[in-house]
Structure 1
């Protein structure tokens, strides 16, 4: 039986009847892997400088996955939009709960910026619960929009020193916006 997955370098010769799928499209990667495993064939994980850059899978499987991806694209986009809308709606409810006096303009900016899809920002992580993501997003917003934090960094001040310098303004703003845990939430 062939090994399920083998790590190779980009210089390793391409196996016969295999093709390369670049990392980045989760749908295609997941389906290519699953179908290759189901076919009892090996997935070759291509790694360069200890980073995965893609996979090599049988050409016929990759062709099938490309076709399925095209056929289901509209439905997947719709499902993603529904999930994103639900995520923003939940974040808005949590934001209103924790920061009941946040000005509307700031509320909209926190939701738009802190929860932007593919941004890598705290609002998009799955690693922490929403109840903690919201204050982190608000703290980042206050830090960058309502203090001189960025100017302090630009002047050469360390991140820790700049955060200490703006801490009082940050805590005061959080309390004004209705956060009763301003002191505890402002450490991130």
Structure 2
């Protein structure tokens, strides 16, 4: 396995958390998790935030809801089930509906 210890830890966390994630999505999530503002977070936390952010922005109507004037919290509320369905489809046992998400966004 190549990369820094942090990059290796993030990839390992992704394989454990979402074993069925498609390659294109995995690459996007890894890129988000490795962004500079995520470096102060533990690798598993950075990965979880990046995973949730990617699914929200790429696999739900989240961005459309924001464009329609919903605030971030309301838009997240309306896409939580869809977000969890995508994560579940990738074999993820965690849920954004459980309120485990830290108030940070990989897209920030």
Q: TM-score, normalised by structure 1?
A: 0.48
**Can you list the C-alpha shifts for 1:67-90, whole angstroms capped at 9, x where unaligned?**
xxxxxxxxxxxxxxx9xx212222
What is the CA–CA distance in structure 1 between the aligned matches of 2:100 and 2:56, rounded to whole Å? Answer: 10
Instruction: Report if the CA contact (8 A) 1:102-1:177 is conserved.
Output: yes
- Corresponding residue number in structure 1 for 2:54: 141
- The root-mean-square deviation of aligned C-alpha atoms, in Å, is 1.9
Q: Report the Cα distance in structure 2 between the residues aligned to 1:88 and 1:143, rounded to whole angstroms.
A: 23
Q: Does 1:115 align with 2:34?
A: yes
Name the structure where strand makes up a greater proportion of residues: 1
Structure label with greater radius of gyration: 1
CA distance 1:181–1:91, shift in 2 (3 Å): same
Which is helix-richer, 1 or 2? 2
> What residue ranges of structure 1 are gaps of 5+ in the alignment?
1-81
Q: 2:90 maps to what in 1?
A: 177
* Cα distance in 1 between the residues matched to 2:100 and 2:90: 13
Unaligned runs of 5+ in 2: 103-108
Q: 1:168 is matched with which residue?
A: 81
In the alignment, is residue 105 of structure 1 matched against residue 28 of structure 2? no
* 8 Å Cα contact 2:61/2:79 also seen in 1: yes
TM-score (ref. length: structure 2): 0.80
Tell whether the 8 Å contact from 1:143 to 1:166 is kept in structure 2 after alignment.
yes
Count of residue correspondences: 99
Q: Which has the higher contact order (CA 8 A, sep 6+)?
A: 2
CA displacement at 1:131 relative to structure 2: 2.1
